[in-house]
Amino acid sequence: MPVIDVFNIKRERVGELELSDYVFNAPNKSYILHEVIRIQLANRRAGTASTKGRSEVSGGGRKPWRQKGTGRARAGTIRSPLWKGGGVVFGPKPRKYALKVPKKVRRLALRIALSNKVRDQQMTVLDSFALERIKTKDFLKIIGDLQLEGRVLVVVDGRDEKVEKSARNIPWVKVLPTEGINVFDLLKYENLLLSRDGVGKIEEALGK
């Protein structure tokens, strides 16, 4: 069973926390992560690109000139794909890119990603993440005191307006509620920062 230190916002060790072996010590299976991320990114695609074929472009109802005797190539409509303003050949049409992933596979991928964070020592647990006011400068000071380098994913227990608004102008920080934690963000952000209560919520959601 992995054990992790618990800090306050000044990076002073205030205790330790035993993590669930089932959630935070899953064997690394990179192909599971790849499959879930592929599906997650596919589901984000809008699929709204659309073009018009020659039958959908307005105009071109009559033959532009007679078939023979002009010296020009024969033409039946000005909306031919060969003409400027004509239709598009095999152009994109609205479609759905959404794919489905089994619930068990999605939960397994989350456990693998969280376990990798623990193994790589990229997960920091705080006793609480209470800000007194909405202030980006105060939030940056906490990140600096915690000695977190690189991108930071902050997972809060429920909605925390002070944390969310203090961090929303920092491009390398993202704040998520425990319900919104996902594999893509866990891999994109090097550091995972969450509270002791947040760990409990995650273990409750992903446990057996």
Same domain assignment for residues 36 and 54 = no
Q: Which amino acid is at 175?
A: V
Residue 31 pLDDT class (50, 70, 90 cuts): very high
**Whether pLDDT at 72 is above 80:** yes
Q: Looking at residue 52, what is its pLDDT?
A: 95
Same domain assignment for residues 36 and 83 = no
Exposure on the CB side of residue 110, measured as CA atoms within 13 A:
19
CA–CA distance from 107 to each of 88, 163, 172 (Å)? Answer: 43, 27, 26
Q: Which residues pair with 154 in a beta bridge?
A: 175, 193
Same domain assignment for residues 116 and 148 = yes
CA 200/CA 55 separation, integer angstroms: 59
Same domain assignment for residues 54 and 152 = no
The count of domains in the chain is: 2
Residue 10 pLDDT class (50, 70, 90 cuts): confident
Same domain assignment for residues 30 and 126 = yes
**Whether pLDDT at 29 is above 80:** yes
Predicted structure pTM score = 0.83
Same domain assignment for residues 126 and 191 = yes
Same domain assignment for residues 54 and 129 = no
Q: Which amino acid is at 191?
A: N
Residue 1 pLDDT class (50, 70, 90 cuts): confident
Cβ of 75: how many Cβ atoms within 10 Å?
15
pLDDT tens figures, 146-174: 999 899 999 998 787 889 999 999 999 99
Q: Looking at residue 38, what is its pLDDT?
A: 95
Which residues form the domain of 76?
49-96
> The dihedral of CA 42, 27, 156, 188: what is its sign?
negative
Give the domain CATH number at 195: 3.40.1370.10
Same domain assignment for residues 119 and 152 = yes
Q: Which of 96, 129, 160 is the last residue of a domain?
A: 96
Same domain assignment for residues 201 and 113 = yes
| Mean pLDDT across 16-40 | 94
Same domain assignment for residues 89 and 168 = no
Same domain assignment for residues 32 and 53 = no
**Whether pLDDT at 208 is above 80:** no
Same domain assignment for residues 77 and 144 = no
**Whether pLDDT at 22 is above 90:** yes
